[in-house]
Amino acid sequence: MSSVQTTGNVEKFNYDDGIVKKFTLATIIFGLVALLVGIIIAFQLAYYPLNTQLPWFTFGRLRPLHTNAAIFAFAGNAIFAGMYYSLQRLLKTRLFSDKLSNFHFWGWQLIIVAAAVTLPLGFTQGKEYAELEWPIDIMIALVWVAFGVNMLGTIIIRRVKHIYVAIWFYIATFITVAVLHIVNSAAIPVSMFKSYSAYAGVSDALVQWWYGHNAVAFFLTTPFLGLMYFFIPKSVNRPVYSYRLSVVHFWTIVFLYIWAGPHHLLNTAVPDWAQTTGMVFSIMLWIPSWGGMINGLMTIRGAWDKLRTEPIVKFLALSATFYGMSTFEGPLLSIKSVNELGHYTDWIIAHVHAGALGWNGFLIFGMIYYMVPKLWKTELYSKRLANIHFWTATIGILLYIIAMYTSGFTQGLMWREVDAAGKLAYPDFVQTVVRVVPLYWIRGLGGVVYLAGFIIMLFNVVKTIKLAPAVQTNETEDEYVPYVKTPVFGNPDQSFSHRVLEGAPMILAGLVVVAIAIGSLISLSPMWMSSSVVEANYHDAITKPYTPLQLAGRDLYLREGCYTCHSQMIRKTVGDVLRFGAPSTIEESKYDHPFQWGSKRIGPDLARVGTKYPDLWHFRHVRNPQEVVNGSIMPSYSWMYKDKIDFAILRKKLSVMKILGVPYGDDDVANSESWAREDAKKIAAGLVAEGAQIQDDREILALIAYLQRLGNPPASIGGAK
């Protein structure tokens, strides 16, 4: 309960530790889940039978669960735990509202549970890191606003005049994530668990990677930088190396990061100037990133001896080191020629996991070891076990990333290698898959070792809590002389410039909005001209909407998470063109709500797979990939041969697409069901004529219709009428 006692100028008050405890425990529980799912999908790639025949247990459905659990459940809960712990102590006040704190906590856990249920069931928007369907998106927005009000309210009722730099990072996190989530999640519902993105093709790609990149920036970087600026000085009991540098770090990172999204779309159909802008800004990110990393590490100056003895300092120091490594590698991968080699390969997986396991994971572990004994008012059960955790986790990460770097370089080089005659040295994509499978085993092993370390921490935390006094309060008392509140403007007694910019939260927040708005507007600007470019430069006949059956098939492609393994974007690179055909153009995905360009090629690109193989090939391949492609690691989708197409919903789907600007006529919408049934019958009849056994209303027929359409003028396969 909040209570304040005043003695003279000194005010006695208490901090709400209960909410921090809850978020800390949730961090540990969901960290375990995220790692477990990660290990399962790692081994599913190494040994495909582990996909089993259960629809909800396949790689395509579990991979989004893993990423969402790692980012929003594990890292998310940790951010809130660390923020609420540090916010109160830096501002010398209790959190603004206990009710909002609890609404935030339980709301966030409800979102996580909803994600854990819906994603394996195949309810997805098909956008990476933004897969959750519209009702959950609305819940996220509400809970995020509650968090923001609670944080800003706490800042307003503070007893300290200056707002410490860590809190600036928290403010930037709240504002930017809110903007990213609302803009990227814009969609029109078809049903309770199905919606179509408001954006299509190149526009969707730009919005999605503006979101995706900045989810890394403002969910996995800025809040953690704020936490770093709190927990490193705390753990070594030393002042921040340079507060000036932290101010420069903050403004440059907030201004720069938002521009860099297009580096996820290098060598694609996105306009060249947008790619170049993304690349230039990504390279400039070296400046603030390394400034922050140096500031974090140099804060340990004079206390380096603690690296030998204190596991918390070990975790935090290695965390900052991984931050430096990852933020060196990110800009490097944003150089077009480097990206040509690394994109779609496991190099990106190594990069991402060096950041997630090293930077985020180690900072969270350091934070947990720091906070748990203080929250439960006891001592850490075993420093030795914490040290064992540190070394176990370090070995786990090294095994993981070395395997993935090797795999990534191997894939990138094999994909583009040509012989003396100028032909591909490895023309069958599966040759490059088979080569890296042993490395998938090592990656899985690395994950197991990292998880073992995590379980050691779990044991240590449980024992620490058991050591705690039986009578626990969820509060910590403190006292402080509050600063005298004066108007921001027109006060001659204080430094005007300081008060305005560094002591006034709303003005600071306003400047953050301006900083992110400039980069967002410019980096997203191609989306406003994309349709004009398409109409001016491309023959419109090629851009026809999907037939209802193809649309049904496309939704099955999304449901099964095919985009987690297959791209649909042939880049303007020699290797891609030799292997997959002519480069993809922006008009080809003009009506793709959402776009499916993908970011990974565990299997080949599918942008021009249409009519490359007969229907029967797809029929056999989806049921039993190894029967058709020796060495394939793709799972079987046998349920698509039993489950029926939902023809009844097609009318609603086409109506929504029409609202979104896809040129369906009224007749197309009205007759969508009969049109789809007719097309399905044709495909089924063709298959039966070739000896297959299939009824004319099964899901596989819709998927075949969609795959055969990819990269081909729809007229050739009886497209839009």
Partner 1 sequence: MIRDLLANLHWSVLPVVSMFMFMSVFIGVLIWVYRKDSNIIYKEMENFPNE
Decide: is 10 part of the binding site for partner 1 (CB under 8 A).
no
Give the DSSP letter string of 518-531.
HHHHHHHTHHHHHH
CB-CB contact of 60 with 564 (8 Å): yes
Q: Residue 48 or residue 209: which is nearer to partner 1 going by CB? A: 209
Measure the CA–CA gap between 222 and 379, rounded to whole angstroms.
30
The one segment of 11-19, 237-245, 463-471, 680-688 that binds partner 1 by CB under 8 A: 237-245
Decide: is 374 part of the binding site for partner 1 (CB under 8 A).
no
Closest contact distance (angstroms) between CB of 685 and partner 1 is: 44
Read off the tokens for 714: 């729809």
Q: How many residues bind partner 1 (CB under 8 A)?
A: 52
Residue matched to tokens 């209570």: 3
**Cβ-proximal residues to 646 (8 Å cutoff; 6+ apart), any chain:** 552
Most distant CA atoms of the chain, gap in Å: 93
Which member of 13, 105, 219, 230 binds partner 1 (CB under 8 A)? 230
Q: Is the peptide bond before 594 cis (omega within 30 degrees of 0)?
A: yes
Decide: is 335 part of the binding site for partner 1 (CB under 8 A).
no
The residues in 81-100 that bind partner 1, with binding defined as CB under 8 A, are 86, 89-90
Instruction: Please work out, in degrees rounded to the nearest 5, the angle formed at the alpha carbon of residue 609 by the alpha carbons of 641 and 652.
Output: 55
Read off the tokens for 695: 């009824």
Residue window 279-298: x/- pattern of binding to partner 1, with contact defined by CB under 8 A:
-xx--x--x-----------
Decide: is 667 part of the binding site for partner 1 (CB under 8 A).
no
Distances 473 to 106, 435, 462, 559, 617 between C-alpha atoms, Å: 21, 57, 18, 47, 66
Closest contact distance (angstroms) between CB of 75 and partner 1 is: 21
Which member of 47, 56, 106, 243 binds partner 1 (CB under 8 A)? 243
The length of the chain, given as a count of residues: 721
Measure the CA–CA gap between 371 and 86, rounded to whole angstroms.
10
DSSP label at 546? Answer: P
Tell me the β-bridge partners of 7.
10
Closest contact distance (angstroms) between CB of 472 and partner 1 is: 25
Decide: is 522 part of the binding site for partner 1 (CB under 8 A).
yes
Q: Which runs of consecutive H residues, i.e. helices, occur in 237-345?
A: 243-257, 272-284, 286-298, 306-309, 311-333, 336-342
Which member of 248, 509, 649, 717 binds partner 1 (CB under 8 A)? 248
Measure the CA–CA gap between 117 and 139, rounded to whole angstroms.
15
Q: Which runs of consecutive H residues, i.e. helices, occur in 468-606?
A: 496-502, 505-524, 526-537, 548-559, 574-580
Closest contact distance (angstroms) between CB of 162 and partner 1 is: 6
Closest contact distance (angstroms) between CB of 87 and partner 1 is: 12
Decide: is 517 part of the binding site for partner 1 (CB under 8 A).
no
The residues in 383-442 that bind partner 1, with binding defined as CB under 8 A, are none
Which member of 455, 529, 582, 715 binds partner 1 (CB under 8 A)? 529
CB-CB contact of 417 with 424 (8 Å): yes
Q: Residue 67 or residue 235: which is nearer to partner 1 going by CB? A: 235
Decide: is 309 part of the binding site for partner 1 (CB under 8 A).
no
CB-CB contact of 147 with 80 (8 Å): yes
CA count, 13 A, side-chain hemisphere, 716: 11
Decide: is 585 part of the binding site for partner 1 (CB under 8 A).
no
Which member of 29, 36, 114, 247 binds partner 1 (CB under 8 A)? 247
Closest contact distance (angstroms) between CB of 177 and partner 1 is: 21
Which member of 159, 181, 234, 658 binds partner 1 (CB under 8 A)? 234
Closest contact distance (angstroms) between CB of 537 and partner 1 is: 7
Cα four-point dihedral sign 436, 439, 444, 446: negative
Decide: is 188 part of the binding site for partner 1 (CB under 8 A).
no
Decide: is 370 part of the binding site for partner 1 (CB under 8 A).
no
Which member of 102, 378, 382, 525 binds partner 1 (CB under 8 A)? 525
Decide: is 144 part of the binding site for partner 1 (CB under 8 A).
no
Cα four-point dihedral sign 383, 386, 392, 394: negative
Closest contact distance (angstroms) between CB of 164 and partner 1 is: 5
**Cβ-proximal residues to 593 (8 Å cutoff; 6+ apart), any chain:** 196, 197, 198, 199, 200, 204, 657, 660, 662
Which member of 238, 623, 677, 681 binds partner 1 (CB under 8 A)? 238
Closest contact distance (angstroms) between CB of 532 and partner 1 is: 4
Q: What share of the chain is helix, strand, coil (3-state, %, to 5)?
A: 65, 5, 30
Decide: is 491 part of the binding site for partner 1 (CB under 8 A).
no
Among the listed residues 116, 87, 118, the one whose alpha carbon sits nearest the alpha carbon of residue 23: 87
Which member of 244, 384, 642, 721 binds partner 1 (CB under 8 A)? 244
Show contacts of 39-44: CB within 8 Å, 24+ apart.
39/444, 39/447, 39/448, 39/451, 41/66, 42/440, 42/443, 42/444, 42/447, 43/440, 43/441, 43/444, 44/635
Residue window 530-559: x/- pattern of binding to partner 1, with contact defined by CB under 8 A:
--xx-xxx----------------------
Decide: is 495 part of the binding site for partner 1 (CB under 8 A).
yes
The residues in 253-282 that bind partner 1, with binding defined as CB under 8 A, are 255-256, 259, 271-274, 276-277, 280-281
Which member of 528, 540, 574, 721 binds partner 1 (CB under 8 A)? 528
Q: Residue 491 or residue 674: which is nearer to partner 1 going by CB? A: 491
Read off the tokens for 110: 């409800």
Closest contact distance (angstroms) between CB of 494 and partner 1 is: 10
List of residues contacting partner 1 (CB under 8 A): 86, 89-90, 160, 162, 164-166, 229-230, 233-234, 237-240, 242-244, 247-248, 251-252, 255-256, 259, 271-274, 276-277, 280-281, 284, 287, 495, 497-498, 501-502, 515, 518, 522, 525, 528-529, 532-533, 535-537
